[in-house]
């Protein structure tokens, strides 16, 4: 449903699009989906605070959009977020040797992240759920990459939409805030420290740490 024509046209949709699908000729119970070729979000690495702000804004926008469609991802951690970075490589790149041209021998020229038009996508909807407006907003299950989520349970129902917010906030804290904090404090640079504070406020890190499922 998230790849329908109507929803695909919404710029807030950051769910990986399904371009096509086909049924296995030998086993009709199996279907294959065709999706864009994407890169890990840190390949190439972030270069400025603005790069990270854009990353956070797109992911928050995409999560709000998903929840408006009554869909909870339930596993929106860093390994399930990827990016379309084609605009950074004007001559293309090899799908395996990703820093090389399609010939796999020549280093691929690359633009700064700020010069490209990067779009971030949520992928892997294996445990996602669609809960219509008139249905209970509760699920059970303990699966997912982020096992820090306090309410994960195979027995006690919980709100998967709130879990999405926790997972995303925890990812921002662990992968961005915690990684950048020692470097910024070591250099004692007021501009960098201000950037760190922006990350903390803008990416729900404080909210995430105060979150209580009860």
In the chain the first and final C-alpha atoms are separated, in Å, by 32
**pLDDT over threshold 80, residue 119:** yes
The string of DSSP letters for the chain reads -TTSHHHHT-TT--BPP--EEEE-SS-TT-EEEE----EETTSSPP-SHHHHHHHHHHHHHHHHHHHHTTEE-S--SGGGEEEE-GGG-TT---SSSTTB-TTSSSBPP---GGGS--EEEE---TT-EE--TTS---EEE--SS-TT-TT-EEEEEE-HHHHHHHHHHHHHIIIIIHHHHHHHHHHT-HHHHHHHHHHHHHTTHHHHHH----
pTM of structure:
0.84
Q: Check: CB of residue 139 under 8 Å from CB of residue 158.
A: yes
Most confident of 100-109, 128-137, 140-149, 162-171: 100-109
**pLDDT over threshold 90, residue 120:** yes
Q: What is the mean pLDDT of residues 105-115?
A: 92
pLDDT of the residue at 83: 96
Q: Which residue has the higher pLDDT, 6 or 121?
A: 121
Q: Which residue has the higher pLDDT, 50 or 21?
A: 21
**pLDDT over threshold 60, residue 214:** no
Q: Which of 30-44, 135-149, 152-166 has the lowest mean pLDDT?
A: 135-149
Q: How confident is the model at residue 149 (pLDDT cuts 50, 70, 90)?
A: confident
Q: Quote the mean pLDDT of the chain.
A: 85
Q: Which tokens in the block code for residue 37?
A: 């070729």
Q: What is the mean pLDDT of residues 39-67?
A: 90
Q: How confident is the model at residue 14 (pLDDT cuts 50, 70, 90)?
A: very high
Q: What is the mean pLDDT of residues 148-159?
A: 87
CATH number belonging to domain 40-210 = 1.10.510
């Amino acid at each position: 449903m998230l790849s329908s024509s109507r929803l695909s046209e919404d710029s807030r949709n950051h769910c990986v699009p399904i371009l096509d699908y086909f049924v296995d000729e030998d086993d009709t119970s199996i279907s294959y989906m065709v999706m864009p070729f994407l890169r890990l979000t840190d390949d190439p690495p972030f270069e400025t605070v603005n790069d990270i702000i854009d990353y956070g804004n797109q992911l928050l926008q995409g999560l709000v959009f998903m929840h408006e469609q009554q869909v909870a991802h339930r596993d929106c951690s860093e390994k399930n977020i990827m990016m379309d970075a084609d605009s950074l490589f004007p001559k293309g790149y090899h799908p395996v040797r990703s820093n090389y041209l399609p010939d796999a021998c020549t280093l691929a020229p690359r633009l700064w992240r700020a010069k490209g038009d990067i779009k971030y996508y949520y992928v892997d909807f294996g445990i996602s759920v669609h809960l219509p407006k008139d249905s209970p907003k509760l699920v059970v299950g303990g699966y997912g990459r982020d096992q820090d989520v306090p309410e994960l349970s195979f027995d006690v129902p919980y709100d998967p939409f709130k879990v999405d917010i926790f997972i995303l906030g925890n990812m921002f804290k662990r992968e961005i805030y915690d990684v950048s904090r020692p470097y910024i404090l070591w250099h004692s640079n007021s501009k960098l420290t201000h950037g760190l504070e922006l990350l903390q406020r803008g990416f729900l890190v404080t909210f995430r740490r105060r979150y209580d499922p009860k």
